[in-house]
């Protein structure tokens, strides 16, 4: 497979600074070499330029830095689209989760131009389903899943063209365990499929992934994977933007990625919210590299 890495050092979508160093931390943990070892052709196209928080005012308190985030997402969307056109598999590195709007915009437009839709696996401790009206913080990294599904400010939902990027019937939230009050209602009304931590505990990761992939591939050209590292338990992944106890284990995370690889239906991958400031010895970035490898074909035997 030909893989192109796109770094997006964006941290405007959240309060706690540090995820802007995520792409660097994941590269330092050996991403490129690990993927080459699997036999892939790997091309790193570097980072997208992102403005610093210090360079500007946050604007609307209910959706801070919205304009700048939308601009970054548009640029990422163009690059992702171009990457697919050239026959490369896009691997985006965040940055905070608001970059998902850009990745999904690029992938969905590419498939739309070929008469197809895409599914999405949103693997996350949170639902990221807020809108400026429901968000308690005004941080845009809590809004990208809503935006991809067509809810929220137009400047975000319409990045790089049509909305929604993904239809709710093909969108699956996996690993959720921390939702805001207003967000719960939005999740229910949106029609997305949700497998919470309780579902994973009760049914097991294998069953959850098989059901999720079935939903995400039903009538689509494949599915995008948006992996927020905070889905993994903070014991294993302490270096994330917003840690929440009670997450999936190291092995559950790998199993999920291995099942994704087996499906051969993943059309893009993004790994977000790695925060080296909160990490110990870059282990969360190292885990990110391991999970990317599993999703892209690494097997134990
Ligand atoms: Mn997230």
> pLDDT per position in the chain (301 positions), as tens?
999 999 999 999 998 789 999 999 999 999 999 999 999 999 999 999 999 899 999 999 999 999 999 999 999 999 999 999 999 999 999 999 999 999 999 999 999 999 999 999 999 999 999 999 999 999 999 999 999 999 999 999 999 998 999 999 999 999 999 999 889 999 999 999 999 999 999 999 999 999 999 999 999 999 999 999 999 999 999 999 999 999 999 999 999 999 999 999 999 999 999 999 999 999 999 999 999 999 999 999 8
Structural contact between residues 5 and 43, judged by C-beta atoms closer than 8 angstroms: yes
Closest C-alpha among 31, 116, 2, 18 to residue 10: 18
> Is 273 annotated as catalytic?
yes
pLDDT value at residue 240: 97
**Catalytic-labelled residue, pool 20, 75, 124, 180:** 124
- Distance (Å) from CA 247 to ligand 1 centroid: 13
- Percentages of the chain per state (helix, strand, coil), in multiples of 5: 45, 15, 40
Tokens representing residue 42 in the block: 């790997």
pLDDT at 123: 98
For the chain, which residues make up each domain, given as ranges? 2-295
128, 180, 252, 279: the active-site residue:
128
- Position of tokens 């067509």? 150
Q: What distance in angstroms lies between residue 273's CA and the mean position of ligand 1's atoms? A: 7
Q: Is 191 exposed, middle or buried (0-12, 13-18, 19+ CB in 10 A)?
A: exposed
36 φ, ψ to 5°?
-65, -40
- Catalytic residue list contains 230: yes
CA of 142 from ligand 1 middle (Å) equals 7
Fold of 2-295: 3.40.800
Active site residue 128: yes
Q: Tell how far the Cα of 301 is from the centroid of ligand 1, in angstroms.
A: 32
> What DSSP line would sit under 77-97, residue for residue?
HHHHHHHHHTTPEEEEEESSG
| Residue 178 is a catalytic residue | no
Q: What is the pLDDT of residue 15?
A: 85
pLDDT for position 139: 96
Tokens of 55: 């360079």
Which residues, other chains included, contact 50 with Cβ-Cβ below 8 Å and sequence gap of 6+?
Answer: 8, 9, 10, 11, 12, 20, 68, 72, 95
């Amino acid at each position: 497979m030909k893989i192109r890495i796109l770094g997006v050092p964006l941290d405007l979508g959240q309060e706690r600074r540090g995820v802007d160093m995520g792409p660097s931390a994941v590269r330092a943990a050996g991403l490129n070499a690990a993927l080459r070892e699997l036999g892939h052709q790997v091309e790193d196209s570097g980072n997208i330029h992102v403005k610093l928080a210090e360079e500007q005012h946050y604007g609307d308190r209910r959706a801070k830095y919205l304009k700048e985030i939308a601009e970054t997402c548009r640029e990422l969307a163009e690059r992702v689209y171009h990457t697919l056109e050239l026959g490369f598999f896009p691997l985006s590195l965040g940055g905070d989760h608001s970059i998902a709007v850009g990745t999904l915009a690029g992938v969905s437009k590419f498939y739309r131009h070929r008469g197809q839709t895409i599914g999405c696996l949103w693997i996350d401790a949170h639902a990221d389903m807020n809108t400026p009206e429901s968000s308690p913080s005004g941080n845009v990294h809590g809004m990208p899943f809503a935006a991809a599904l067509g809810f929220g400010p137009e400047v975000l939902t319409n990045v790089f063209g049509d909305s929604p990027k993904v239809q709710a019937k093909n969108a699956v939230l996996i690993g959720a365990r921390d939702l805001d009050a207003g967000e719960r209602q939005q999740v229910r009304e949106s029609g997305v499929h949700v497998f919470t931590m309780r579902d994973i505990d009760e049914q097991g990761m294998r069953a959850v992934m098989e059901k999720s992939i079935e939903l995400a591939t039903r009538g689509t050209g494949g599915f995008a994977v948006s992996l927020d590292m905070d889905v993994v338990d903070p014991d294993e992944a302490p270096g994330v933007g917003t840690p929440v106890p009670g997450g999936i284990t190291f092995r559950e995370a790998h199993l999920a990625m291995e099942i994704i690889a087996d499906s051969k239906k993943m059309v893009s991958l993004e790994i977000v919210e790695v925060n080296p400031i909160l990490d110990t010895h870059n282990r969360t970035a190292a885990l990110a590299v391991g999970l990317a490898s599993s999703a892209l074909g690494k097997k134990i035997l």
